Structure 1
Amino acid sequence: MKKLGLGLCGLLIVGILAGYGVSWFLQQAQSPAERISIVVEEALPDREVQLYFTDPQGLFLRQEARQIPGCDDDRDCIRSLLEELRSGSRQGFLPVLPKQTGILDIEVENDLVRVNFSKHLVDFHPGGSLSELLTVYSLANSLHENFSYLRQLQILIDGELRQTLKGHVRIGQPVYADFSLSRPPLTGPLPESTIDEQSESAEETEDEQISPGH
């Protein structure tokens, strides 16, 4: 009888210990899940930027507001801005970048931004002194307008430094913004005869290169 009592007591102790062990195991299995906290990052608000496109006559730059996604890194915002420029105007202005243009890389160093474009910028650009000039300053002005600390723009094509965009406007050195190109050259549109004369002059001086002013 005494042995039976001892046996039952032993079984009871084993049962209690086993139950405690199972309870402890379940608590440990649940604890990590209870400690996990889900962090939901709030999306940054959109940012309004000012872009510069060519006016319908192709003579000067016109400003157009656009919304881009908010970002923590200015390089992301710069890429979004350039993508909006590439997508073209929504107000009837002329494009400044071919839609085929790839934005390969963006580097920011103090007040200088280097933008590496694909060769499609050159291949699909219409060319010509004024058209090239407006493209270069559309980029420089749009960047400086929205990132005031970026005073200089260096344009690269497929990672290479070129002397001209497409034979006319020099891009071998960094370019500074020039907002004088955002004003009409005259009180009204240029006469057709003047435009024709300029076109003929540009064809005759095809090898002439223009250095953007600093």
Structure 2
Amino acid sequence: MTTRLSRDITAIERDLDRAFEDLAALSRRVSEIETLEESAMGPEVTVYYARSTPTESHLVPVRRRVAQGVDPVKGALELLVRGPLPGSGLDGTIPQGTEVRSLEIKGDLAIADFSEEIVTNFVGGSWNEALLVGSIVNTLTEFPGITRCQILIQGEKRESIGGHIGIDTPQTRAAELIGPR
């Protein structure tokens, strides 16, 4: 019985040694992957998401990275549409299903064209609309040289997204919507 127990212990020790070797190899591989991911990431951009408390909502600037080779301005807009990272405590401002159709820069004006879902999936409310428009404009005006933003829907100017905030003319930065992080 002692011999059998000794053999079992030896077998367990061998299995543990192999498991530790596998774990070390996996750890090295994870480090290699993280290094590759970092090298594949492009520049940092600032995107504005919403933070809501029981008494108020406001925009907060968040630093995110766009993919290598992606235009930073368009990448920032895509990150805004995608929404904040899970567990960040932040809320997206752009309605689900919305897509960026195009982005054009003409002098100091960014022209951002969105799919119809920005209107059809908008939940409503004047403050939510202010945060939505403000998040787009503030994100785009973070870039040097961009001071105004024209929001288009399906390639056309509209009066508003939800009936409260005019978007038929170029918008300027909405610093009053930015609150504490």
Q: TM-score, normalised by structure 2?
A: 0.71
Decide which of 151, 155, 159 is 2:151's aligned counterpart.
Answer: 155
Tell me the residue number matched to 2:179. 183
Number of residue pairs matched by the alignment? 138
1:67 equivalent in alignment to 2:65: yes
Tell me the residue number matched to 1:47. 43
Q: Using the alignment, how far apart are the partners of 1:70 and 1:99 within structure 2?
A: 25
Q: Percent identity?
A: 31
Decide which of 77, 83, 98 is 2:72's aligned counterpart.
Answer: 77
Letter in 2 for 1:79: K
Q: Using the alignment, how far apart are the partners of 1:46 and 1:87 within structure 2?
A: 17
Q: Using the alignment, how far apart are the partners of 1:104 and 1:155 within structure 2?
A: 11
Question: Any idea what SS the aligned residue of 1:65 has?
Answer: strand
Does structure 1 retain, via aligned residues, the 8 Å contact 2:43–2:65? yes
The unaligned stretches of length 5 or more in structure 2 are 1-38
Letter in 2 for 1:169: I
Q: Using the alignment, how far apart are the partners of 1:63 and 1:87 within structure 2?
A: 15
Tell me the residue number matched to 1:34. none
The structure, 1 or 2, with the larger RCO (C-alpha pairs under 8 Å, 6+ apart) is 2
Decide which of 84, 88, 91 is 2:83's aligned counterpart.
Answer: 88
- Residues 87-117 of structure 1: CA distance to partner in whole angstroms, max 9, x if unpaired? 1112121111123001111111000010110
Does structure 1 retain, via aligned residues, the 8 Å contact 2:102–2:113? yes
The unaligned stretches of length 5 or more in structure 1 are 1-42, 185-214
Distance 1:45 1:95, change over 3 A: closer
Question: Any idea what SS the aligned residue of 2:57 has?
Answer: coil
- Residues 26-61 of structure 1: CA distance to partner in whole angstroms, max 9, x if unpaired? xxxxxxxxxxxxxxxxx8861111111111236211
Question: Any idea what SS the aligned residue of 1:83 has?
Answer: helix
Tell me the residue number matched to 2:24. none
Q: Using the alignment, how far apart are the partners of 1:45 and 1:120 within structure 2?
A: 29
Q: Using the alignment, how far apart are the partners of 1:45 and 1:149 within structure 2?
A: 24
Q: Using the alignment, how far apart are the partners of 1:71 and 1:176 within structure 2?
A: 28
CA RMSD across the alignment:
1.8
Letter in 1 for 2:61: Q
Decide which of 121, 124, 128 is 1:127's aligned counterpart.
Answer: 124
Q: Using the alignment, how far apart are the partners of 1:130 and 1:144 within structure 2?
A: 20
Does structure 1 retain, via aligned residues, the 8 Å contact 2:41–2:66? no
